[in-house]
Structure 1
């Protein structure tokens, strides 16, 4: 289901795209849309956050995010007549060691359709072939079984456990660390296809 509040402006910029989703730049004109997604209770539980954020605070934070060194993407559903924004994905790089932490957020109406895995796969493709990172890692609360499976489908592997590091529905829980290495990234590459269509 597509929400009217997430309709894109004509011809949004897409840096790379796959069969079901694409990645474009972070957009200041979508701050209210991003904020609405971030206040969804299921997302707050999944991130282990306890309190929502005001739109005013989110708007102030947007200016800082747009100037920062992190690599931020708007995730688009490209399965319809025109691309529709459905999420945000972020790489928080440590350029000294060529690694980055990964964070993704999908709109409630976009979940359960494989877009999270597809977007994560595209972000890894971009990370390894454009940003030239050697490893990307993430943290996910252990009870978030759906999230863990989605990350595994995209190419992440279990790397360790932070015991009792988070909360899930009011209960202490473990936090899992997962990683993906550039050398393990195999299969089709949207970036390679743009640069060298014969090898993509």
Structure 2
């Protein structure tokens, strides 16, 4: 890890934890977001420069009332390893948020994304008091759709021809989650 101090972990479950964004991880965030698998999953074909990402991170580190952004940590090794980013882009007027997740290439397929999604939904419903969280995922991204469903999202519709997957038009599946599906104790209530 790039920092000698132990990272601040706000809550954990299933070998995954959420903590605050960190300026010293700007290069890692950039690497994850510009990895070909992430670019394909988002349908975004334009890479971002490390300098542009660092500038955006500076703004995110200052915080904004309409954003909750987290570093995702994999706890399965000897020490917590940064393994992704989870974000809630909040619309306070209607008490909803869009969810965005990026998982490091080396952490994909290991349950990190599912556990991080469940923790972020826990935060959204038990800490922030949101009424609904939604996301969009490209229709051919079956692994992403399965992971989001396993974390508690439900498919509610398709935006036809709204995305690109490997150079071809495709739909974007809209998924949502509501607090009633996440009753019970919160990992944030037991966090130290």
TM-score by length of 1: 0.91
Root mean square deviation, CA, Å: 1.5
CA–CA distance in structure 1, aligned partners of residues 144 and 48 of structure 2: 23
- Asked if the contact 2:18–2:119 (Cα under 8 Å) also holds between the matched residues in 1, the reply is yes
Partner residue in 1 for 2:34: 39
Runs (5+) with no aligned partner, structure 2: none
Runs (5+) with no aligned partner, structure 1: 1-5, 196-200
Partner residue in 2 for 1:71: 68
CA–CA distance in structure 1, aligned partners of residues 32 and 4 of structure 2: 18
CA–CA distance in structure 1, aligned partners of residues 105 and 135 of structure 2: 21
Change (3 A) 1:108 1:147: same
SS in structure 2 opposite 1:166?
strand
Partner residue in 2 for 1:48: 43
Q: Does 1:134 align with 2:106?
A: no
- Asked if the contact 1:163–1:175 (Cα under 8 Å) also holds between the matched residues in 2, the reply is yes
| Superposed counterparts of 1:1-200, under 5 Å | 9-67=4-62, 68-69=64-65, 70-186=67-183, 189-194=186-191
CA–CA distance in structure 1, aligned partners of residues 92 and 148 of structure 2: 23
CA–CA distance in structure 2, aligned partners of residues 188 and 140 of structure 1: 28
TM-score by length of 2: 0.94
6-15 vs 97-106, which deviates more?
6-15
